[in-house]
Amino acid sequence: MNMITLTSFDLGLAASLVVVLALLSRRMQLGLEGQLLIAATRTVVQLLLIGLVLESLFSHVNLLWISAMAVIMLLAAGREVMARQQRRFKGAWGFGMGTLAMFISSFTVTVLALITIIGTEPWYTPQYAIPLLGMMLGNTMNGIALGLDRLTQTTWQQRAIIEQRLMLGASRTEAILEIRREAMRSGMMPMINAMAAAGLVSLPGMMTGQILAGIPPIEAVKYQILIMFLITAGTGFGVSAALWMGSRKLFDERHRLRLDTLSAPNNKN
């Protein structure tokens, strides 16, 4: 395997491009230079730390430590789902809804793939389990955030229409069905676009990384196809679960619309 090792100088050259971009932002008075530099610094620190953690996990395969790592990843993803919504659910629901949906979908699909498709021994081998779970959580997180944001925003905007449907005898499921469908489409659209464009418009990140590391292109393609199918399935199941829970939370047991379960608009993002 012919792998080119990157030096600190190589990474410094790449980092200089971000610095130039920050200077350009300052020159144009965009106000993004601080965010760019902070994000770049976080990228370096976080990835170096995770690299050290993964080296330790790869050297000492232990289900307990791998499970702890997976839980930390899940909680971080759940926080990001909540933070990216304009009108999120109040209280524990705001965090728990997306987190539970990701746990049900991402963990199930990941374990299924490790045991029945990849077939590593043991099945929780961190070289496969952690990267696969990370890709599952990252994409499912985006889908759930988009889906829930569309659900709550549209429900707020169309609250009068929903209440009219309820007064005409519609159940809570019927009153919000079309909004839920549109939210599902929003959550799934990024993955559908990614699959449709793969190989024609873009080379997916995992495949590109494997090719750069010296893996034969055909083998890299096989893994990328597997990953994209798994991610799409996990995203679909996760978005479906989150929207089902969200739709029920928007109504009480007497099928009345309860918008007091939503927070005020979040204008930080």
The separation between the first and the last C-alpha atoms of the chain, rounded to the nearest angstrom, is 43
> Is it the case that residue 180 has pLDDT exceeding 80?
yes
Q: How confident is the model at residue 268 (pLDDT cuts 50, 70, 90)?
A: low
> Is it the case that residue 3 has pLDDT exceeding 70?
no
In this prediction, residue 2 carries a pLDDT of 59
Q: What is the pLDDT of residues 140-170, one digit of tens each?
A: 999 999 999 999 999 999 999 999 999 998 9
Between 84 and 44, name the one with better pLDDT.
Answer: 44
Residues 6+ apart with CB under 8 A from 186: 146, 147, 149, 150
| Backbone phi and psi for residue 121, each to the nearest 5 degrees, phi listed first | -130, 110
> Is it the case that residue 29 has pLDDT exceeding 60?
yes
Q: Which of 40, 83, 85 is nearest to 186 (CA)?
A: 85
How many C-beta atoms lie closer than 10 Å to residue 13's C-beta? 10
How large a percentage of the chain has pLDDT more than 70? 97
In this prediction, residue 267 carries a pLDDT of 57
Tokens of 109: 């699909």
Q: How confident is the model at residue 189 (pLDDT cuts 50, 70, 90)?
A: very high
Look over the chain and give the mean of its residue pLDDT values, rounded to a whole number.
87
Please state the pTM of the whole predicted model: 0.80
Chain mean position to CA 209: 20
Give the three-state DSSP class for 257: strand
In this prediction, residue 244 carries a pLDDT of 94
Q: Which of 102, 97, 255, 248 is nearest to 171 (CA)?
A: 255
